[in-house]
Amino acid sequence: MEQVIANGFYLGAQYALIALGLTLIFALMNVLNFAHGQMYVLGGFITYTVYGQLGLPFVVALLASGLTLAIIGALMEKFLFRTVIRRSLREESTMLLAAATAFFLDAIILLLFGEKQRGVPKIVKGVFNEGGIILPYDRLVVGALALIFIAAFVLYMQYSRVGRAMRALAQDRVAAQLMGVKVDRYSMIGFAMGAMLAGIVGGLLVTITGVNSGIGGPISIKAFLMVMIGGAGVVGGAIAGGFILGMMESVGLTVLREYGDVTYLVIFAALMVFLSIRPNGLMGKPWG
Amino acid sequence: MTQRAMTLSVKIASVAVFLAIVFIAVPVLIAASGRTDLYYTLTSVALLSIASAGVWLTFYIGRINIGQGAYALMGGYVSAILVVNHGWSFWPTLPVAGLFCAAASVLIGLPILRLRGVYFAMVTLTLTEVARLLALALPITNGAKGMVSIPLPGALSVFGLTIIPDFATLRNSRLAFYLLAVTLMVVCFAVMYRLVHSRIGKLCQSLQQNEELASSIGVNIAYLRVIAYAVSSFFGGVAGAIFAAISQSIYPSSFTVTDSVNFMLNCFLGGLGYVFGPMLGTLVLYFGWDLLFQTGQFQLLIYSGLMIVLMLVLPNGLLSLAAPTRKN
């Protein structure tokens, strides 16, 4: 059982980091970023190229992943989402754009990196084995790094000037603008940060699970699940949702093993019931 | 008065032209050119536009529905199971599949229709996954192997008069399927048009704008939402049932999240403000994808690139070109 909980905790840290990026973009722009999974995959492939192929240090690869995705995110916001939001009669039109960018990134990833499953050499060798828990050291390192990134993100949002501006924007766009917050600039920074987080998790997880061009969609769905559990647009909710989903997956895979591959069916069903009782998730704001 | 009479005659004329095109011109042209493979493409377009019409209806009450694939899958399985396991004829399974989906959507819709915006979108998205996983897990759906070799639709006769001949005996079952799909599409969009221009349609529009306000002046919003969602799922189920009949098989992966997203994209592309938007959107997206097939590995890149450009230029859908800009 300790093993199951340790696995769940490790998964949860990764998931929380994915969900944070998605929820940040949603909070700032009311955009449901369908391309989040694809950004994750792209981050994974960049780390694969820099660390696995070119042989540069892992930290450099991780930085490259984060930076590339941040630039892509900023450009997407500036040239695509901002324009469509301004011109469209209905806010939901951004969903078509988001889906189209997801397809676009999928196509680019497929062209650049092919469809093979890719992995990289382990970053740390050895296995932690004590008190009934078996965890390879690289998982521990990746889990710890994820926790550090989460903490850094939360602190940044809480105490930096940029973070404060973004929180104001998420709370009330018009009021923030009236108080002199440069809405356009911080929307762009927020989108870039969200994309950067996706890229970083991709870079972290490629060292463990590897990456292939087809996992973007499923990752997006998982990210949506976490955001729904925790509540859309709330930092705390995304973290909670990530850990809850990680734990449910880990426990479910063990407990429900004899019934076949039904873990996600059970999770979905539970989520439906949960959402009918609490439509806005654990901590979400009501929509409308 | 004269102007109204004129617009009415214009409407009747355009409907007549449309019917003439789909029922006479298209079969004649295909027969002349010998491209019978186009029947399959056009049949798919007709069926997908029925499912998309359902999605459009949920947009009309202000909900983003990315779960139509679930109902299409459900409809396909209901029809397939009734035909294969219980020896039903295909024709009665068509309305049964639709009604089954409508009933299921009432049960599912009652809790989830309380959600709004992205929450509803995300729940319906996961609904598609639930449907796929259920089809994999349930014993009656035959798991990942799916249901195969479903017999073609048989003859349909009323009081001894054969209305529709047995599809298996037809020389050109593709044409038969095309006519069936197009007829259903015409009926479906006629129903949609009538619905949108009725009192219920106006009430639905009030939901789209402000549910609280609508509720405060006595609109039964919970009832309307469920009705609209049930009609939407009915369309999805019927489309799925015919798809299963055409391909004579159905698998858990017959309708996936991608299909659900595509149904939604069809509506966006055609224009959310126009009843016939989903039809146009489906036609353009499906044919665009088919035409780009020659570009090989760049197909998806060009397709999605065009979609992004289209979104930047015409964010309110293709049909917004025809309509005068209502802003200002």
CA distances to A27, A40, A108, A115, B302 from B297, in Å: 36, 22, 10, 12, 10
Residue from B124, B121, B120, B79 nearest B98 by CA: B79
| Unique residue bearing structure tokens 């299409």 | B72
Q: Are B150 and B16 in contact (CB under 8 A)?
A: no
* pLDDT at residue B324 is higher than 70: no
The beta-carbon neighbor of A103 closest among B111, B298, B303 is: B303
**pLDDT tier at A197 (50, 70, 90 boundaries)?**
very high
B166 and chain A in contact, CB less than 8 A: no
Amino acid, single-letter form, for residue A69: L
Q: Is the Cα dihedral B289, B291, B294, B299 positive or negative? A: negative
Average predicted confidence (pLDDT) for chain B: 84
Q: In whole angstroms, give the CA distance from residue A283 to residue B110.
A: 22
B43 contact partners, CB below 8 Å, separation of at least 6:
B174, B177, B178, B181, B182, B246
Q: Answer yes or no: do B64 and A271 touch at CB < 8 A.
A: no
- The CATH number corresponding to B39-281 among 1.10.3470, 1.10.357, 1.20.120, 3.40.50 equals 1.10.3470
> How many independent structural domains does chain A possess?
1
- Name the helix (H) or strand (E) containing B52: helix B37-60
- Interval B181-189 mean pLDDT: 90
**pLDDT tier at B327 (50, 70, 90 boundaries)?**
very low
What interface predicted TM-score (ipTM) does this complex get?
0.79
Count of beta carbons in the 10 Å neighbourhood of residue A148: 11
Q: Answer yes or no: do B316 and A89 touch at CB < 8 A.
A: yes
pLDDT per residue as tens digits for the range B234-276: 999 999 999 888 888 888 888 888 888 888 888 888 888 788 8
Q: Answer yes or no: do A84 and B312 touch at CB < 8 A.
A: yes
Chain B residue with minimum CA distance to A111? B297
B106 and chain A in contact, CB less than 8 A: no
Which of A49-53, A197-201, A250-254 ranks highest by mean pLDDT? A197-201
The beta-carbon neighbor of B115 closest among A108, A265, A275 is: A275
Residue A211, beta-bridge partner list: A118
Residue A109 belongs to some domain of the structure: yes
Burial (CB count <10 Å: 0-12, 13-18, 19+), residue A8: buried
pLDDT per residue as tens digits for the range B103-119: 999 998 888 888 877 78
Query: Considering just the CA atoms, what is the radius of gyration of chain B in Å?
Result: 20
Q: Provide, as residue numbers in chain A, all residues whose Cβ is less than 8 Å from the Cβ of B137.
A: 260-262, 265
Domain of A44, in residue numbers? 11-215
Q: Answer yes or no: do A221 and B129 touch at CB < 8 A.
A: yes
pLDDT per residue as tens digits for the range A225-259: 898 888 878 888 889 999 999 998 888 888 877 77
Question: What pLDDT is recorded for position B160?
Answer: 62
Query: Considering just the CA atoms, what is the radius of gyration of chain A in Å?
Result: 19
Distance from CA of A13 to the nearest CA of B (A): 22
Residue from B121, B221, B123, B134 nearest A278 by CA: B123
Q: Answer yes or no: do B111 and A217 touch at CB < 8 A.
A: no
The beta-carbon neighbor of B257 closest among A103, A221, A232 is: A221
Residue A153 belongs to some domain of the structure: yes
Q: Is the Cα dihedral B293, B298, B299, B302 positive or negative? A: negative
Q: Answer yes or no: do A276 and B111 touch at CB < 8 A.
A: yes
* pLDDT at residue B164 is higher than 80: no
First to last CA, chain B: 27
Residue A225 belongs to some domain of the structure: no
Residue A62 belongs to some domain of the structure: yes
B289 and chain A in contact, CB less than 8 A: no
